[in-house]
Amino acid sequence: MTHMVQLAADFTARFGGASRTFWAPGRVNLIGDHVDYCGGVVLPMPIQFGTSVAVRLRSDGCIRAASGNDPATLERDARSNAALPAGHWGRFVSGAVAVLAEIGVDVGGADVLVCGDIPGSGLSSSASLAVGLVYALSECTGHPLAPLQLAVLAQRVEHRHIGVQCGLMDQAVIALAQSGCALWFDCTDHSHRAIALGADAPAILVINTERERKLVHSTYNERLAETQSAAQCLGVPHGELARMPIAAWRDRASRIDDAAVMRRARHVVTEGDRVARAAAAIADGDWPLVGVLFNASHASLRDDFDVSCSELDTLAALCAASQACHGARMSGAGFGGSVVALVERRFVAQVAEAVAHAYQGEFGVKPRWFVAQSLGAARRTDG
């Protein structure tokens, strides 16, 4: 990878000497948003863009870190518990060091350089950074982690050091995915399997809204609280809400007095059902059915979970209106980010450019797009 060679050169220019280099992908979720923290099954896939990390250990207990994407730098004692300012990307570095220390892995000190090329929001740049850092530091200290343990520790970074009580979906696909596949991941028992997309699969078109995402973290935590309330009303553990059968949901829905909480629960329950049907349809090569489920998922996220926005709705509608598109939906936490669409490969550039042109006419900005490729999980890149 040319950019990894450049990263290593940039590391030498900044810190002197050689480094070991690592890479962790971003992800696009095919279907199953906002069910991971409710115990559901999700179907994400890695993308060809991600976070590159260069590391060299130090023996003096000092952590020095820099980013190719943010001018802020970090220099602190590896054992320091002093909190960094909110929003400082260095929280990911200090968080990675801290969660490794909790399992007995002493980083001791390190020079770290990171650089990401994930094109736009909603593609899990935060989980990519967290997984990349935990992976790189554990490997460099001679304490390699099992993929699932890597995912859990990276999630812990976000929980304890970033303040986002995210589920495990993003970290799991980044740590566990196989090339050419999506990942079927059960957020309850962490069982997982690769779902081959197949040579005849339509193009997985990802189009970014170019909208700055605001209040995502606070709204995410609000939805977490709302789904917890819904589970209590329905008499099921929060971690089983997304596994609730449709029939049981219909029988108990009247127990929820709050209309907003009822809609949140309806999304979680029906999205869990859509994921199961989509996984089976992909295995059967029934992409028209997958497209129908995509469209239904977007409507649910828009109307019941209330995490969409006009830009996402417009992009999804423009894609879905094309005869070459099986279906489209927002992907990720919402309020901006990206739409994922299933488009017949021979028409993908034509559809993408037409959608981008129409979107630019309405919002005054031309969205970036790419066709997602699954290249597999986080890895070492220097040999």
Q: Which residues are catalytic?
A: 170
Parallel/antiparallel/unpaired status of strands 192-196 and 181-186? antiparallel
- The H helix count followed by the E strand count for the chain is 11, 12
φ, ψ dihedrals at 111, nearest 5°: -100, 135
Q: How is residue 283 annotated by DSSP?
A: H
**CA nearest 23: which of 154, 177, 171, 131?**
131
Q: How far is CA 69 from CA 45, 89, 144, 156, in A?
A: 24, 10, 27, 23
Cα 243 to chain centroid distance, Å, stands at 21
Cross-strand bridge partners of residue 185: 42, 192
d(CA 88, CA 86): 6
The 3-state DSSP composition of the chain as helix, strand, coil percent (nearest 5) reads 45, 20, 30
- Residues facing residue 45 across a β-bridge: 28
Asked if 158 and 164 count as a contact pair (C-beta separation under 8 A), the reply is: yes
Beta bridge partners of 340: 206, 329
Alpha carbon distance 304, 358 (integer Å): 27
Sign of CA dihedral 171, 28, 30, 328: positive
